[in-house]
Chain A
Amino acid sequence: MKNVDVVQLSVFVLFLAAVTVVGFLAARWRRGQTLMHLDEWGLGGRSFGTFVTWFLLGGDLYTAYTFIAVPAAVFAGGAMGFWAVPYGAIAYPLVFLIGPRLWSVSHRHGYVTTADFVHGRFGSRALGLAVALTGILAMMPYIALQLVGVQAVLTVMGITGTGPAADLPLFLAFALLAAYTYTSGLRAPALISFVKDTLLYLVVIVAIVYIPARLGGWGSVFDSAEAALSKPDPATGRPSGSLVTTETTHWAYGTLALGSSLALFIYPHTVTGALAAGRRDVVRRNAAMLPAYSVVLGLLALLGYMALADPGVVAAVREAGNPQLAVPFLFDAAFPPWFAGVAFAAIGVGALVPAAIMSIAASNLFTRNVYTAFLRPDATPEEETRVAQLVSLLVKVGALVFVFAFGKSLAINMQLLGGIWVVQTFPALALGVFTRWFHRWALLAGWAAGMVYGTWTAYLSSSPAQEHFASPLAEIPFLGRSGYIALTAFVLNMLVVVALTVAFRAFGVPDGADETSPSDYTADAADRLAAPEDPGRALTGEGPR
């Protein structure tokens, strides 16, 4: 590894310090009467407009995943890694359909989490619990992916030691994150998102213009990448990838895009971002505006090819045996030290912001749908917020487990594993916004079937580098093609849900009570029923006034 570059490191530390100050100050921004209320800590007072929501949702969606994991997948496998672009496009028609209705019903009934809604809609605490636990579980590998992003940057800057001290800088960065999330709640990532996105766009524009020019233009970037991809991999003896998808990978490409797009808007953290919006129209308008980020995502993916086109970078990544280092090494080689520092800061902040939102979302779920629903039904709002703050710390520790379990394999697989789980809540959550035809026990059985099949199939997938959970792809039964496990498990889930709903209805098994009414799904800001002082009302079964 190289020596530490003082200029580069100073710029990086300066930006991170500035962001930390902003994070702590955020507690005062647009502050309500008290921060010790889950609506305030966990949803920023539900007051954000189109502009803030755009940044906040963007902060959710474009993360270390975009900067590190997707380019690494493109670097390692060529066209296959580009599936993130169709995913980033077709997710938004779904957001446009589901988001406003979920926002309206949540606003009207004071729901803070996805599981609040599912519980209220289907009258089943158990189903709410299933959705909550799935959400918390799925958040951990996604947060882990952010940690890997920070780690990659630190490694390339040369500030990772060896032995016991190896992970110290990573722990420091995360301790900072945990501290300001704890004190400021959702306001911290919302405010930092501005800094993050400004840095992000600056770095992207410079990278997209400057690096290809340095490498002889886009045409030559693609040519060199193709040459590098078609060289046989020393480990397998086969080419590592191709410039366009082939007969054998079309299905994998399409199912990864579709499966992930189903997952995108039901991830707890994206819902948290959307529910923090102040008006229904904010969510609708954002669905049309957010694909702008996906253009950026596509261009960033191509950084993987730029890395492939630079022999020095390829050699450095091979030596380290970690494809996640492709972009940091590329920036290190292509930019002057001060700008590389800016770029690394963008990646670092771009990982910490979403990690904060994700841990807040997971702790909202735990507090509302496990703690208050099962353990302490009469917890005060202040107690709820305290529990949420503590859980936000625990979730980050859970994420560390995934970091060490996955080692240096493709980090994108972490996010895809989370997707396999979270997609199993799609029938209750996303379809539940439109219909309650499904029987509550059928939804629970379908969820269980999808979770067991998905987890087991992923567990069995192994590679030379990793014994279990090595790939998100597996053969689709009856089709004989390789596809994303999440989608196969989802189809199984739906089959169980439909078959059992018909059966339960035929035998007259009683349905749960639905506390929502059709007009709730189109309500706007003025139509709120549950008073903000009493968000627990919907959960205690009293229903709105």
Chain B
Amino acid sequence: MSETPPARTPTPRRVLAGVLLVVPFVVYLAVPSYAKVTPKLAGFPFFYWWQLLWVVLTAVCIGVAHRLTRGRGGAE
């Protein structure tokens, strides 16, 4: 019960990775911010293309976080 997680220094890389992992939550949980029809894109109401776009951006966020913290002991 005396276990403490290994001390990890919050390097700028790790902080940035953490922020990148939080961004998708902020974007998606702000539901009223994207609950609208315009501007449309290729016939898609904003509500739809914005959320589909952020699926791709979420993958980019995680991919960058992965690169920032690569090596043994990775991100947490």
- Are A292 and B59 interface neighbours, CB within 8 A? yes
A514 within 8 A of B: yes
CB distance from B11 to the nearest CB of A (A): 16
**How long is the Cα–Cα vector from A90 to B58 in the complex, in angstroms?**
8
**How long is the Cα–Cα vector from A250 to B58 in the complex, in angstroms?**
21
Contacts of A258 in B (CB 8 A): 25, 29
A246 within 8 A of B: yes
CB distance from B56 to the nearest CB of A (A): 7
* Interface SS, B side: helix
**Among the listed A79, A96, A217, A245, which residue makes an inter-chain contact with B65, where contact means beta carbons less than 8 Å apart?**
A96
A544 within 8 A of B: no
Contacts of A90 in B (CB 8 A): 24-25, 28-29, 58
**How long is the Cα–Cα vector from A302 to B42 in the complex, in angstroms?**
14
Report, as a range, how many residues of chain B touch the other chain: 35 or more
**How long is the Cα–Cα vector from A250 to B61 in the complex, in angstroms?**
25
- Residue on A nearest B69 in the bound complex, by CB: A284
- Residue on A nearest B76 in the bound complex, by CB: A97
Contacts of A519 in B (CB 8 A): 6
**Among the listed B35, B37, B43, B73, which residue makes an inter-chain contact with A522, where contact means beta carbons less than 8 Å apart?**
B73
**How long is the Cα–Cα vector from A378 to B10 in the complex, in angstroms?**
46
Report, as a range, how many residues of chain A touch the other chain: 35 or more
Contacts of B5 in A (CB 8 A): 434-435, 518
- Residue on B nearest A93 in the bound complex, by CB: B21
* Interface SS, A side: helix
CB distance from A342 to the nearest CB of B (A): 25
- Are B28 and A257 interface neighbours, CB within 8 A? yes
- Are A245 and B28 interface neighbours, CB within 8 A? no
Chain B residues with CB under 8 Å of chain A are 1, 3-6, 21-22, 24-25, 28-29, 31-32, 35-37, 40, 42-48, 51-52, 54-56, 58-59, 61-63, 65-66, 72-76
Chain A residues with CB under 8 Å of chain B are 79, 82, 85-86, 88-90, 92-93, 96-97, 100-101, 217-222, 243-246, 250-251, 253-254, 257-258, 280, 284-285, 287-289, 291-292, 294-295, 298-299, 302, 434-436, 511, 514, 517-519, 522, 524
